[in-house]
Amino acid sequence: MQRRYLSLAAVGLAATMTLTLTGCGSGSGGNDVTLKLIAADYGDSKANSSQHYWDDLVRAFEEQNPGIKVDVSVYSWTDVDKKVEDLVDAGKAPDMAQIGAYADYAAHGKLYTADDLLSIPVQADFTPSLAEPGEYQRLQYGMPFGASTRRLFYNKKLFAQAGITNPPQNWDDIVSDAQALKAHGVKIPFALPLGPEETQAETLEWMLAGGGGYTDNIGKYTINSKENVKTFEWLQKELVGKGLTGADPAKLNRGDAFAGFADGDVGMLNGHPTLMKQAEAKGIDYGTVELPGANGKAKATMGVTDWMMAFKQNGHRAQIGKFLDFVYSEKNVLKFSADYNLLPVTTSASQAMLADDRFSKLHGFLNQLPTAQFYPANKTSWPLVSKTVKSRMGATVGPQGNPSAVLTDIQNTADTADNATE
């Protein structure tokens, strides 16, 4: 989730995993191979770092494959994409990376396809709505790893104190509920994190709620569509302009908004599954509903997935494939999802989660996954567009903001970048 559940997930840390794969033959030593894997850490502390998940998984893999060893090391989300980029630029690409974007590496011919690596049953098990964004020029290079969708979280205690009996179903409800919360002294009636941490996510959530999005159904950027302009004009006038966001959205980061909700200072916000654990740890009684839209439920929710990819530079295709088949087994996908409050990326693990009452609070998020809409991660222009959104969108909803002009500027940037890569 950058998505980051921006993510994506918890507080946005990252793990670099170094994989030492030692040939998949008899283990005689002559075919020993060392593979490097750099990947993201989804924990929010050393105690629940993804390091523990991978150490356990590697231990089980090595027991079944005595000729293969895996050595894991961990980096933060802040550094992980840059770490991979630096290694690739230095001619020292890792064999595998589990990070936020894959398309640029695919475009430069540096990656194996999923067809090259995975057994047919494993590849076919990916949830279709997650596998498709992993395709570049109709070939799958990005293998989904960890997913989330978005729902609106609300504080039940604060709602009750303000006399609100039902969660919001549309934008008018959001405004009236936020006004009631403000009247009862709630510090931040509706948290709108458009600060630099994960602006691209909050932006897409609101675009979808307003009937728009970053792209149309054939992948063309539609950033300055009339739907998107109308959405941000509404935010500027109805939420920010009426003092219902409590703080300057341009200065509010996602992590701070989540922390505020967990502290009981936020009445409502858009959130992903990892917020549940954060809120529960502070004793917050919360509810979730599908994202409200302009005239009812949003047409779709935002989905986020991170990507596993494999570089061709060092070879080792067979060994990488054997390990990834193990990584994507139902048992391991379900355990990772359970450990970090994320959604499974395979059909088999999703069905197992839906059938298990232990995960009932995730079921609402999971049921939205097949129709969720994702970042255009298969476009090599997306990293630049995402960076531009992060730097520009926060001020758009402020008193001096001009949504139409800003969205058109970003559209022009996107079109220029898109044309340059064609």
pLDDT reported for residue 293? 96
Q: Is 358 exposed, middle or buried (0-12, 13-18, 19+ CB in 10 A)?
A: exposed
Between CA 316 and CA 328 the distance in angstroms is 18
| Residue found under tokens 């964004």 | 133
- Evaluate whether 37-149+303-371 and 151-289 have a shared fold: yes
- Whether 7 and 199 have beta carbons less than 8 Å apart is answered as no
| CATH no., domain 151-289 | 3.40.190.10
Q: Per-residue confidence of the chain (422 residues) as pLDDT tens digits?
A: 443 333 333 333 333 343 333 333 333 334 688 778 888 888 877 888 888 888 898 889 889 887 878 777 767 777 888 899 999 999 999 999 999 889 999 999 999 999 999 999 999 999 999 999 999 999 999 999 999 999 999 999 999 999 999 999 999 999 999 999 999 999 999 999 999 888 999 999 999 999 999 999 889 999 999 999 999 999 999 999 999 999 899 999 999 999 999 999 999 999 999 899 899 999 999 999 999 999 999 988 999 999 999 999 998 898 899 999 999 999 999 999 999 989 999 999 999 999 999 999 999 999 999 889 999 989 999 999 999 999 999 999 999 999 999 999 999 999 999 888 65
Q: What does 280-342 look like in DSSP terms, one character per residue?
A: HHTT--EEEEPPBBSSSB-S--BEEEEEEEEBSTT--HHHHHHHHHHHTSHHHHHHHHHHHT-
Q: pTM here?
A: 0.85
Q: Which two tokens stand for residue 11?
A: 């507080």
Neighbours of 263 (CB within 10 A): 13
Q: Which CATH class is domain 37-149+303-371?
A: alpha beta
Q: Give residue 51's pLDDT.
A: 85
pLDDT at 3: 39
Taking the C-alpha atoms of residue 179 and residue 342, their distance in angstroms, rounded to an integer, is 32
Residues 6+ apart with CB under 8 A from 212: 222, 225, 227, 228, 231
Q: Is 31 helix (H, G, I), strand (E, B) or coil?
A: coil
| Res 80: pLDDT | 84
The continuous run of DSSP H or E covering 406 comes out as helix 403-421
pLDDT of residue 68: 79
Delimit the domains of the chain by residue range: 37-149+303-371, 151-289
